[in-house]
Amino acid sequence: MISLKDLITSVSEERLDKDQLEAYHTQISGLYASLQLEMAIVEKEKALYFEKQMATYPDSSDISIKRQWLAGARGQREIELKRYLLATKELISSLKSRIYKLL
Listed as ranges, residues in the chain with pLDDT below 70 are: 1
Reference 45, options 83, 63, 64, 72; nearest CA is 72
**DSSP assignment letter at 71:** H
Query: What are the extents of the domains in the chain?
Result: 39-103
To the question of pTM greater than 0.85 for the whole model, the response is yes
Backbone angles phi, psi at 18, to 5 degrees: -60, -45
* Predicted local distance difference test score (pLDDT) of residue 1: 65
* Predicted local distance difference test score (pLDDT) of residue 56: 97
Cβ atoms of 54 and 65 within 8 Å: the answer is: yes
Give the model confidence (pLDDT) of 64-82 as tens digits. 999 999 999 999 999 999 9
Question: Using CB atoms within 10 A of its CB, is residue 63 exposed (0-12), middle (13-18) or buried (19+)?
Answer: exposed
* Predicted local distance difference test score (pLDDT) of residue 12: 87
